[in-house]
């Protein structure tokens, strides 16, 4: 048997190309699966960068954390742009194969859920489901503080008045917006010459949150383009459900404090 070229062997390219298996002959289905795979892998790439940023914060290396947050942001921009390729599919082309999806829906993606958990969106029902019968990746993630928890813990160690219950809570418990955390960000932005690292960290975190919201907003537009008012395969009412999700903001006080700036 001839040996596969090293390019193929190194990254298992032959196996990779066996994974896209359309269930219909419809024109758009192969691209739909390819893009779903690309997005899954990029979710993991972003989560990995955020994990490294979180570790840097744990050793008080804010500059290192900012580098990895910036790396995550680059990949997030690619994730937003990937929707462009999906939009090459006309709504009637999607209709031609949508039934083969059954009840498959992106909200069953454990890589996406892990990314939401790293970012700090850990609502009780998602946490319970993940701990009950979720992918091991999710249980591993829930044993760690979110990247926002890690940032607040870092700021507390730097002497900022972050409330004790925000820094000492169990990682399975979601951070809830707190007025005293808003005060901390306000202090940093009112005196950035005194707190340049904390200011840089805030801007880097905000960019990650901003790009995440761009992804959600673009997904909603794609859904309206493909489905109009139809319900989703996971049983939600589709666009209205996603519109409500779009209201959510990661790192909440980083958005709200600026009203007072
Ligand atoms: C034609 C393309 C797409 C349509 C029409 C669509 C539609 C929807 C709808 C209606 C929902 C709400 C849940 C439900 O009832 O299914 C949803 C959720 C979701 N979709 Fe898509 N989707 C598309 C492509 C994708 C792709 C390519 C991905 C990424 C791999 C993706 C990731 C997600 C995620 C992660 C959620 C859950 C969001 C959350 O829990 O906050 N979607 N999608």
Please state the atom number of ligand 1 nearest to the C-alpha of residue 245.
41
Predicted pLDDT of residue 2: 82
Q: Minimal CA–CA distance to 52: which of 64, 63, 39?
A: 64
What does the pLDDT look like over 200-255, one tens digit per residue? 999 999 999 999 999 999 999 999 999 999 999 999 999 999 999 999 999 999 99
For a mutational test of ligand 1's pocket, the pick from 105, 108, 240, i.e. the residue with the most ligand atoms closer than 8 A to its C-beta, is: 105
Protein residue closest via CA to atom 15 of ligand 1? 232
CA distance 34 to 21: 9
Distance 100 CA to ligand 1 centre (A): 15
- If phi > 0 it is left, if psi is from -120 to 50 it is alpha, else beta; for residue 102 that is left
Find out whether the beta carbon of 105 lies less than 6 Å from any atom of ligand 1.
Answer: yes
- CATH topology assigned to domain 6-260: Methane Monooxygenase Hydroxylase; Chain G, domain 1 (1.20.58)
> Residue 88's CB: how many other CB atoms inside 10 A?
10
Find out whether the beta carbon of 171 lies less than 6 Å from any atom of ligand 1.
Answer: no
Distance 143 CA to ligand 1 centre (A): 27
Q: What does the domain layout of the chain look like in residue ranges? A: 6-260
What does the pLDDT look like over 142-200, one tens digit per residue? 999 999 999 999 999 999 999 999 999 999 999 999 999 999 999 999 999 999 999 99
Indicate the DSSP class of residue 107: G
């Amino acid at each position: 048997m001839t040996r596969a070229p090293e390019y193929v062997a190194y990254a298992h390219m032959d196996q990779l190309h066996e994974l896209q298996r359309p269930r219909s002959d419809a024109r758009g289905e192969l691209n739909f699966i390819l893009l779903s795979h690309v997005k899954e892998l990029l979710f993991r790439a972003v989560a990995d960068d955020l994990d490294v940023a979180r570790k840097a914060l744990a050793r008080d290396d804010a500059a290192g954390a900012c580098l990895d947050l910036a790396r995550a942001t680059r990949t997030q921009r690619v994730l937003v742009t990937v929707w462009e390729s999906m939009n090459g599919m006309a709504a009637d082309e999607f209709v031609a194969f949508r039934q083969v999806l059954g009840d498959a829906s992106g909200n069953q993606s454990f890589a996406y859920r892990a990314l939401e958990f790293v970012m700090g969106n850990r609502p009780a029902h998602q946490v319970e489901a993940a701990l009950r019968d979720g992918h091991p990746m999710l249980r591993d993630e829930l044993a760690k503080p979110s990247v926002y928890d890690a940032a607040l813990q870092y700021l507390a160690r730097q002497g900022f008045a972050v409330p004790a219950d925000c820094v000492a809570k169990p990682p399975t418990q979601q951070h809830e917006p707190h007025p005293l955390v808003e005060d901390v960000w306000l202090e940093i932005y009112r005196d950035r010459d005194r707190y340049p690292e904390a200011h840089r960290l805030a801007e880097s975190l905000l960019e990650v949150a901003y790009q995440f919201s761009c992804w959600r907003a673009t997904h909603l537009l794609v859904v309206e383009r493909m489905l109009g008012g139809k319900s989703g395969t996971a049983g939600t009412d589709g666009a209205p459900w996603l519109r409500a999700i779009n209201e959510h903001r990661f790192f909440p006080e980083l958005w709200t404090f600026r009203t007072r700036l």
